[in-house]
Amino acid sequence: LEVIEAHFLFGLESSRIRVIVHPQSTIHSLVEYHDGSFLAQLGSADMRIPIAHALAWPERIESGAPTLDLAALARLDFSTPDLEAFPCLKLAYQALEAGGTAPAMLNAANEVAVAAFLNGSLGFAGIAATVNEALNRCALSSVESVADVLEADRRARSVATAVIDSGKRS
């Protein structure tokens, strides 16, 4: 979903949005400039930091998270994501390429699938399978109004729910 957010928030084409896997979760955002340099936001792997930032913007407030000890960082690892291991990332790029209502449908189907996973009615691998099936079954249309997006959201939620329900019966 962050790929789709970056596209819409910053007007970037999907080909300009690169995902990098960083298993330590120390770097929370990273921007590459035209000159090849990078600007990174580092912090402890604690969701209180971005939540406090969002709540207090543009100010910074105490989050309660531990301070990142830079001296204790032994290393920072990065890798290119394997799109087979991260099928939802592949689906996000495909939705951006498809355009129209595809990103909204992906988001809606993902929310339904994640909720089913969290309540124990869908396995983890079923999230991507459900989203993929919902995208395949829903007709793509152009976005002319907010109503178009809301209708695409409704359709994708309905289809994702049906996909999950049909899996329960088998």
Quick: pLDDT tens for 101-145. Answer: 999 999 999 999 999 999 999 999 999 999 999 999 999 999 999
Strand partners, 32: 38
Average pLDDT over residues 12-35: 90
Task: Report the C-alpha dihedral over residues 145, 150, 153, 159, rounded to 10 degrees.
Answer: -110
pLDDT-based confidence at residue 74 (cuts at 50, 70, 90): confident
Evaluate if residue 170 carries a pLDDT over 60: no
Percent of the chain with pLDDT over 90: 78
Q: Provide CATH code, domain 87-169.
A: 1.10.1740.10
**What token pair was written down for 85?**
């291991």
- pTM as predicted: 0.81
Extents of the domains making up the chain: 20-72, 87-169
pLDDT computed for residue 169 by the predictor: 40
What pLDDT does 168 receive?
63
